[in-house]
């Protein structure tokens, strides 16, 4: 009998504890999950890449539905710094979740090059999204050279049709050779109907490396007329050669 009385409190405590046990993780709301996994935010904002990646993996393992809800809850928290925000937006991009787009566009314009690279990688996932394409084209007219370089790089990876439609306009007014080089490289990678026309324009670029890149593609063109074009040659001779090529192209269109 005494043994029963001694075990009574133990049974009661066990019952109380079982009633207060945490809900299964899959039943937790985003807010509750974050409360029970508060270290995730600290890890995201860490300067140690290993800790950041561990946090990303934990969120990724939740899947696009639950994980997306948790990520949005985190992004809604004003306490998240830029390192955390760009990683979270990048994760949304992996799930093709358009809620990450505005954050990715924001960080493509950031001063931290690491954040810019992550944002660019994320935006490529939204290839074909006209909202993204239009925003990047607007960035190509930004006074900041770094922003124009970043925007051109993403559009190039996207094989953007919008970029090709505006190639001549953007190329002619672009003062930075790095951006012009990215634009010409984009032409080389694609099969746009006006590809040859764009490359002939690049044969007159002020930068030798760009002229060499364009000529490397043009000279492989079948039935190309014989012209005396040298990327490093005299400007007048280059203009004369390009005029011959333009007449040839017009006759073969």
Q: What is the pTM of this model?
A: 0.81
What mean pLDDT comes out for the span 153-161? 90
Q: Which pLDDT value is given to residue 26?
A: 63
H or E element at residue 124:
helix 113-124
Q: Which pLDDT value is given to residue 80?
A: 85
Nearest to 105 by CA among 141, 134, 65, 76: 134
H or E element at residue 239:
helix 235-251
Q: Which pLDDT value is given to residue 154?
A: 96
Q: Which pLDDT value is given to residue 25?
A: 59
What mean pLDDT comes out for the span 199-227? 95
Least confident segment among 70-84, 193-207, 216-230: 70-84
Q: Which pLDDT value is given to residue 28?
A: 79
DSSP secondary-structure letter at 184? H
CA–CA distances in Å: residue 55 to residues 40, 67, 119, 238, 246: 5, 12, 18, 56, 56
What mean pLDDT comes out for the span 129-139? 94
pLDDT band at 252 (very low <50, low <70, confident <90, very high): confident
Mean pLDDT (the chain, rounded): 87
> Residue 103: pLDDT above 70?
yes
> Residue 24: pLDDT above 80?
no
Q: Which pLDDT value is given to residue 21?
A: 41
Least confident segment among 3-7, 33-37, 146-150: 3-7
Buried b (16+ CB within 10 A) or exposed e, 10-23: eeeeeeeeeeeeee
Q: Which pLDDT value is given to residue 229?
A: 95
> Residue 49: pLDDT above 90?
no
Who has greater pLDDT, 19 or 55?
A: 55
**Beta-carbon contacts of residue 120 (< 8 Å; ≥ 6 apart):** 108, 150, 153, 154, 157
> Residue 107: pLDDT above 90?
yes
Q: Which pLDDT value is given to residue 34?
A: 83
């Amino acid at each position: 009998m005494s043994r029963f009385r001694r075990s009574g409190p133990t049974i009661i405590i066990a019952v109380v504890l079982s009633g207060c046990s945490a809900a299964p993780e899959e039943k937790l709301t985003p807010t509750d999950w974050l409360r029970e996994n508060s270290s995730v935010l600290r890890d995201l904002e860490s300067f140690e890449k290993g800790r950041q990646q561990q946090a990303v993996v934990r969120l990724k393992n939740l899947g696009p539905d639950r994980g997306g809800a948790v990520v949005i809850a985190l992004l809604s928290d004003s306490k998240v710094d830029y390192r955390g925000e760009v990683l979270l937006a990048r994760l949304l991009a992996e799930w093709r979740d358009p809620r990450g787009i505005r954050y990715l566009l924001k960080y493509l314009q950031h001063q931290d090059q690491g954040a810019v690279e992550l944002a660019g990688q994320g935006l490529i996932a939204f290839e074909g999204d006209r909202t993204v394409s239009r925003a990047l084209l607007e960035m190509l007219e930004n006074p900041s050279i770094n922003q124009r370089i970043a925007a051109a790089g993403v559009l190039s990876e996207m094989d953007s049709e919008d970029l090709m439609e505006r190639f001549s306009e953007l190329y002619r007014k672009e003062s930075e050779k790095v951006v012009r080089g990215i634009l010409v490289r984009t032409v080389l990678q694609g099969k746009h109907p006006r590809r040859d026309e764009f490359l002939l324009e690049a044969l007159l670029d002020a930068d030798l490396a760009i002229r060499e890149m364009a000529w490397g593609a043009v000279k492989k063109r079948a039935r190309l007329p014989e012209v005396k074009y040298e990327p490093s040659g005299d400007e007048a001779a280059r203009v004369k050669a390009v005029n011959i090529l333009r007449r040839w192209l017009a006759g073969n269109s």
